[in-house]
Each structure stands twice: as structure tokens, then as C-alpha cells.
Amino acid sequence: MLKKVLEYITIAAILCYLAFAFVIVPLKKDYDNCNDIAINITNNKFGTISNSDIVDMLVEEGLHPQDKIMDSIECHKIENFVKKLTLIKECQVYKTNGNSIRMDVVCREPLLKVHDKNGATYYLDIEGEKIDDIKKPLLLPVVSGEIDDSMIEKELRRLVEAIAKDPFWLAQIQQIYLNEKKEAIVTPRIGDHIIELGSTKQLDEKFNNLKTFYTKGLNTVGWNKYEKINIKISNKVICTKREK
């Protein structure tokens, strides 16, 4: 009988401990102050944003966690604020065991700089997403002309996808002009000619044909022999000689 009573007491003690561990302890508030915020920024090869930039923005918004009570810090509010920046692709904020806040930030990678017909300037990342809060100038191919927001999802996205596939074109293209017909004229970095690209459809085929012509043609006859190179028709390269 005594053995049974001891077993019941032991079981009751275990249940009480579990109740304390899983119910009472989690309800204990953390009144310690936050002593640090660690910010880790990735995919930021252009240095478009720094740790101090983020800290300054959090301070201005009243969201900087330094010296605040840990239990009062709402990580999701910090995340949502940082993710409002078009430059930011992902942001995760969480508390650590050492009374500090950890922030992991992933940036978008700008690929093209756009000047639209209304005078606005912004960048497009490698996924064709618009970035309009980069403050520092970046040395990237520039797209200008009769551009409006409606062209981002089609013409500009096609250009981004084609250029992003091949580092050669990212290095070779200096400027792209889109006219009212949504046809593209390209100014290369090397060679005294312009490239009449035409519509932004079938760009992979057009760029592949042009690259072949560059390799097998211009490397032989010279990069300044032609004034215009027309690749509007995807399976043809038509050249206009420079007048002497």
C-alpha cells in the first residue's frame, strides 16, 4: 500500500513540475534590457545599404531596440518596417539568449538603372522588381526613353531577363533607349556603333546571333567598321557601313 502511495506522489510531483515548466515559466516576462542589435546584410555587393543606415532608420522610426525591455520589443514591427524598403528582399528579426536582437537582411540586386519619361529614376533588380530607394549612383546599364510603369512587367522585364543570363551583355551594354513603338536601340560600351534591337521579344535569340556576329565578324573586320547593326529580325544581322 505504501508503495502505491509513493508512486502516486511521484506521479503528482512530475505532473506539477511539467505544469510549472510548460505553463508557469513561459508566462514569466523578460524585464532585462536589450544590450545589442546585430545586423547581418547579404547580397549587398554594391553597398547600397549599411548597418548604420538601418540603425538610423530604426532610431528615426522609434523602433531601435537598444536599452528597451526585451519583452516589449515587437520583432514583427521591425521586420515590416524594414521590408517597406524596395531595396530589401527579405528581413528576419528575432531575439537571442544574450538579451540582444538579431536582424538578417537580404538585399535585392540592381541590374538596370531606369530614367522614365516622367523624370523618375529607379533601378530594376535581376528579377525585374522596381527599386526606388537607392541613394548612391551605381555604374549599371541605363534604360531611358518613352518608359512608363506599364512597361515594367513586359519590355523592361524581358531586358532584365536577357541581360541577367549573360555577364557579357551586362558588361557590354552601356545604354538602352526605348522609343514610342517600344523598340530598343542599344549603345554598347565597346565599338562605335548602335544596335537596333527592335521589340523586346525573342531577345535570347537576338542576343545570341549578335554575340556570334561580334565573335566571328567584328573581331575580324574591326569594331568601328559599321555605323548600325540591325537585329530586329531575330534570325538576321543587318549592318550599315560607316561613311568614309
- DSSP assignment of 106-164: EE--EEEEEE-TTS-EEEEETTS-EE----S-----EEEES--GGGIIIIIHHHHHHHH
Q: Residue 168's Cα: distance from chain center in Å?
A: 21
Give the largest CA-CA distance in the chain: 116
Domain-embedded: residue 30 = no
Tell how many helices (H) and how many strands (E) occur in the chain.
7, 12
61 and 153 housed in the same domain: no
Task: Band the pLDDT of 25: cuts 50, 70, 90.
Answer: very low
Q: Amino acid identity, residue 163?
A: I
81 and 96 housed in the same domain: yes
Domain-embedded: residue 93 = yes
Domain-embedded: residue 21 = no
Q: Pick the residue with more confidence: 51 or 30?
A: 51
Domain-embedded: residue 147 = yes
DSSP code of residue 187? E
Give the Cα separation of 243 and 228 in Å (integer): 11
Least confident of 14-23, 78-87, 207-216: 14-23
Task: Band the pLDDT of 78: cuts 50, 70, 90.
Answer: very high
151 and 214 housed in the same domain: yes
Domain-embedded: residue 8 = no
Q: What is the CATH number of the domain that holds 159?
A: 3.40.50.11690
84 and 57 housed in the same domain: yes
Least confident of 8-17, 47-56, 128-137: 8-17
Q: Distances in Å between the alpha carbon of 165 and those of 60, 160, 196?
A: 40, 9, 20
Give the Cα separation of 171 and 156 in Å (integer): 18
Share of the chain above pLDDT 90, in %: 67
Most confident of 16-20, 108-112, 226-230, 238-242: 108-112
pLDDT digit string, tens, across residues 173-211: 999 999 999 999 999 998 888 999 999 999 999 999 888
Q: Amino acid identity, residue 35?
A: N
Domain-embedded: residue 29 = no
79 and 171 housed in the same domain: no
What the block records as the C-alpha cell of 60 is: 528615426
Q: First and final CA of the chain: distance in angstroms?
A: 116
Range of the domain at 134: 110-241
115 and 80 housed in the same domain: no
